[in-house]
Amino acid sequence: MTEIEIPEEETVEKPKPGLFRSMRNSFFTGVVIALPIGATIWLITGFVRFMDNWVLEILPRAWNPNTYIHDLIGFNIPGTGLIVAVVALFMLGVLASNIIGNSVLKFGENLLGRVPLVSNVYNGVKQIVSTVAQSEDRAFNEVCLLEYPRPGLWAVGFITAKLKGAPLDHLSEDHVCVFVPTTPNPTSGFLLFSKRSDLKILNMTPEEGAKLIISGGMVSNDELEKLAEGK
């Protein structure tokens, strides 16, 4: 019997991309690499510049370290205002931790409490900051799905706390506070009260949930894991 020869499959070579397409791909690759670096540098330098302008402007000239630095080396050192702010906050914490400093701070609070309008703003901000600082549960510690703004549509939210205060007069204790941020700016959003049983808890960290929202859903959980592993 004659053996039947089976022709080998011909390998089809993929056409190489043209020069323009290769240049375009390289350009967008450079953009993807440079954009996070540039945005990080821009945010850091902007924050340092803001602290320098804000902190050093309120200091008297005799207390401004840049006055002596400029006279000594001929130019200002960026970040001086940030260092001054950190040292000032540290000293304020040390001052508030002893009896004399605590008495001085209480005296100042009593003076602010007697000023119309200023007392309302100060007491409101102080209450918010104290509540957040003294909270036992870490805010935004759970990422969830909830049907919003109507049944059939799902949104990503963060469980911030158990329901407290006046809403408990109308809602049951199994309700929780859910913050639903907007895309791509997660600093704004909506505060919703929902039953915990109506929520679907996601296996995601708050950081992963924030990246999912900022990217408009383009960055998934698997992609976040690959990025963390450097793949």
In the prediction, which pLDDT does 10 show? Answer: 53
Instruction: Let me know the angle formed at the C-alpha of 126 by 176 and 50, rounded to the nearest 5 degrees.
Output: 105
Higher-confidence residue of 152 and 2: namely: 152
List, in sequence order, every residue forming a beta bridge with 192; answer none if it has no partner: 178
pLDDT at 230 over 60: no
pLDDT at 15 over 80: no
The pair of three-digit structure tokens given for residue 5, joined into one six-digit string: 């020869």
In the prediction, which pLDDT does 138 show? Answer: 56
pLDDT at 156 over 50: yes
pLDDT at 95 over 90: no
| pLDDT bucket at 227, cuts 50 / 70 / 90 | very low
Higher-confidence residue of 62 and 209: namely: 209
In the prediction, which pLDDT does 228 show? Answer: 45
pTM over 0.95: no
| pLDDT bucket at 208, cuts 50 / 70 / 90 | confident
- Spell out the domains of the chain, with CATH numbers in brackets: 142-229 (2.30.30)
pLDDT at 69 over 90: no
In the prediction, which pLDDT does 178 show? Answer: 93
DSSP string, 39-103: HHHHHHHHHHHHHHHHHHHHS-GGG-HHHHHHHHHSSPPTTHHHHHHHHHHHHHHHHHTSHHHHH
| pLDDT bucket at 231, cuts 50 / 70 / 90 | very low
In the prediction, which pLDDT does 134 show? Answer: 58
Pick from 29-33, 40-44, 100-104, 200-204: least confident: 100-104
In the prediction, which pLDDT does 79 show? Answer: 79
pLDDT at 229 over 70: no
